Chains A and B, each alone.
Chain A
Amino acid sequence: MKPGAAKRRPTSRTSASDAADWFMRLLRDDHAGLSRVLREIDAQQSLLQSSPETARPVLGEAMRYLLVYQHSVHHPREDRLFARIRGREPGLYRNMSRLVREHRTGQQQAEALAGELSRATLAQLRGRTGERLAKQLQAYVQHTRAHMRREEAVFYTGSERVLRASDWAVLMEGAEQRDPAGDLARLAARYPRLAARLSQPERQVSGAGETHGRTCDGAQHFLERIVETYGMLAQETIEVTRSNLAELRRVRTPLALLRTVGSIRTRSARLAARVVTHPFRR
């Protein structure tokens, strides 16, 4: 089944396994939407310093989405699941207490980042503040992905086995809200800039700390050409040296030696001429 296409909500008469499937599917779909948005946050944070005027609005909406849906709807949903598991199998819950703590700290981090992003001026975002915020956003993204991986390991290892029909019935109560990131049209209604970015065919991503005008493209291209030219000449030199040595090894008579020295001299002279003239030809 494709993401966002969860089965019909089970009724009180459906089996425990259908209810478990439905609820777990809801959580997995939430992770699918979150993954989509995290990818965009990581791309935008890399452009925060060089293009703050375009990156900040998208990042602002992405952080708002995280706070309004992921931290306020999805995480409480998971916390309820973990609490039910604790009631049934405290041993399994021990792995989950860390996840519950991470929900709290993740929300605090997201709130702090969203606040700082909105308060900073464009000039600040182009400078050290922008650099620090980009690093923090990247760290938040990495931390959230690792958290999701740990949760998936828990999902795969036992909640369906441990919980009973009555647990799933309670968990399904109030679990109506669906992740807007699963449907771009729905996302656009509340987060238009984020949805517009997600629907673009091409996204630019750069390395960490990209700043406007720091690199001198002309000089860089020139250096690349120099490296390539001398790389090629170095390869030719290696090949000429190899063939000279091979020819010398084949020498058996004084006459052959004279001939070999002649051909080595010609080849080496040709190479020397190329080394001198080729860089200026390009």
Chain B
Amino acid sequence: MVSWQTTTASLLSRLTVKQLLQRDVSVEKLRGQIGAIERLFPQHPPGFEVAHDHPLPNCDADWLRVRGARTDRVLLHFPGGAYVVRLPNMERAMLARLCTAANARARIVFYRLAPEHPFPAGHEDCIGAYEQLLALGTAPEQIVISGISAGGGMALGVLLAIRDRGLPPPAGAILMSPLTDLTDPHDGSRVSNAARDPVLSHRRGLEMRAMYVAGETGSMVHPYVSPVFGDFTGLPPLFFQAGSTEILLDDSRRCVERARAAGVAAELESWKEMPHGWQGLPFVPESARAIEHCADFVRERCP
């Protein structure tokens, strides 16, 4: 049974976020309005140290560490936001909970956003962050890559690029409701869940997705942009989570199918009636459980 907190969050999202996402507003206005949600989250998660050492050349990146804790595990996290907006405080707060549960520290990469910096700018920022971790001496088997929504798609694209460039693979990847197909197929969950999804709408989808590829819609089938079209051979174990009523549910299902066909350990947790990005809502009990499941995966992959 869905908790009352989730029901309330879904209702509010249906009345506000979903309406906003399907209206004809500018990117600036969208960033402003989505940014207002940020006020709900503290800039620094309590008990955590947010550091900015080892800066990246083209984008911001934070280190999140539990004060006084020692651990070898590192989460390399890519935030969501359809590649055009972001909620850094919400992402930090979610990652802080994951770090606590998994006894890990995190590197969060605020890759460059479209439309100012279309693909491959953000993608290169994220690969650069992984290369930097390796250069700093972090063992790849202690790294788990994670991403939520568009960040999940970014994480998969980065995994494909890591393999293609011959870099040592990380221990695994956590993909929370990832956006893995920018071609927006009008079938499956994108249609069947269109009315039920309390957050996302693809009414303005094409316009937003086109920003990421600078209008070159032909690039949308590139595996680094839409990883569902990639060859998953040689990727590390993948752990997907998605809500059963999300329009993006099939993005995860199709990736799991392709990954397993390529011999990659991949599994999907389909959470009943959870809204897109519920892992980031700290007041929702299902969020705490989902984060614990992600932490179990981290512990499993990085013993």
Contact = CB atoms under 8 A, between A and B. Distances in A.
A4 to B, nearest CB: 9
Contact of B14 (A25, A153, A201, A228): A228
Interface in B66-93: 69-71
Interface string A11-32: 0000000000000010011011
B115 interface: no
A39 B70 contact: no
Contacts of A35: 295-297, 299-300
Interface stretch (A52-60, A65-73, A117-125, A203-211): A203-211
Interface in A144-202: 145, 148-149, 152-153, 156-157, 200-202
B103 A210 contact: no
A145 B295 contact: yes
Given A35-B300, A228-B14, A208 B1 contact: yes
A148 B272 CA distance: 28
A231 interface: yes
A205 B271 CA distance: 5
Q: Is the interface of A mostly helix, strand, loop or mixed?
A: helix
A36 B267 contact: no
Contact of A228 (B18, B70, B103, B295): B18
B269 interface: yes
Size range of the chain B interface in the assembly: 35 or more
Interface in B280-300: 285-286, 289-290, 292-293, 295-297, 299-300
Given A202-B267, A206-B272, A211-B1, A224 B14 contact: yes
A149 B299 CA distance: 10
Contacts of A33: 300
A207 B2 contact: yes
Interface residues of A, number: 46
Nearest to B3: A207
Contacts of A224: 14, 195-196, 198
A1 interface: yes
Contacts of A221: 195-196
Given A215-B1, A225-B195, 10 more contacts: A36-B300, A38-B296, A42-B293, A152-B103, A203-B267, A203-B269, A205-B270, A207-B2, A208-B3, A227-B14
Interface of B: 1-3, 6, 11, 14-16, 18-20, 22-23, 69-71, 101, 103, 141, 171, 195-196, 198, 244, 253, 256-257, 260, 266-273, 285-286, 289-290, 292-293, 295-297, 299-301, 303
